[in-house]
Homo-oligomer: A and B are copies of this chain.
């Protein structure tokens, strides 16, 4: 199989270099015509074995490779995919856009674009919050089964109350998560911090596991119900695009997928 052989050689090269390469670079190294290399790359990209940087036009390894690497590399790949689409979303809404994933019963922010408004939500990468009182957290928890959820909170007693509006009982939380599952997104009205409203939507990887969630957060005065309703399609469009880039299956089918085990480090 000649065509397959050539494609595998291209993959080999990308694996061994482990950095992005241009079409001509590959073409020269492997002594293949540019047209051929390009066609191969297009197919590899289609099946997520390679990916093209839309800015530099260079090609690198795709998510299918990162999926089987260490959790650390996986996060790196995830961030690389999220970054440009999060920036796009930020430019549209001008509020702080952030991404987080679940670490035990907390969420940890892994990427963000901070609003430049005078009054804004300021979040640093690495920051953690209790999952149960953030929109992002509720989205991430919604991927857990009832059993997993009770397991997670079994030795933790009553839920910490961040603000007056935080949910504090397991029953309330479960009911809330039920709604999140139906809607496919979560909101929080000053549950994390007084004066801050937030909305979040999930990201799935190519196995259909929820790996992170993206949120828009801003001050109560700007994040009115109307504004949230206006931004929600944009947010969901963004998370859908990211999920798609990650190779997630059935884009609009009912989620209810498993939550990917998050890394400790």
Interface residues of A (CB under 8 A from B): 1, 3-5, 7-9, 11-12, 15-16, 39-40, 42-44, 46-47, 49, 64-65, 67-70, 207
Contacts and interface: CB of A to CB of B under 8 A. Distances in A.
Given A7-B7, A207-B16, A1 B68 contact: no
Contacts of A49: 8, 11
A139 B212 CA distance: 46
Nearest to A7: B4
Given A4-B7, A9-B47, A12-B64, 18 more contacts: A1-B3, A1-B7, A1-B39, A1-B42, A1-B43, A4-B4, A4-B43, A4-B44, A5-B43, A5-B47, A7-B7, A8-B44, A8-B49, A15-B67, A15-B68, A65-B68, A68-B68, A68-B69
Given A64-B12, A207-B16, A4 B5 contact: no
Contacts of A69: 68-70
Copies in the complex: 2
A1 B12 CA distance: 18
7 contacts: A1-B43, A5-B47, A8-B47, A8-B49, A12-B64, A15-B64, A68-B68
Nearest to A6: B4
Nearest to A46: B5
Contacts of A207: 16
Contacts of A7: 1, 4, 7
Nearest to A42: B1
A70 B4 CA distance: 27
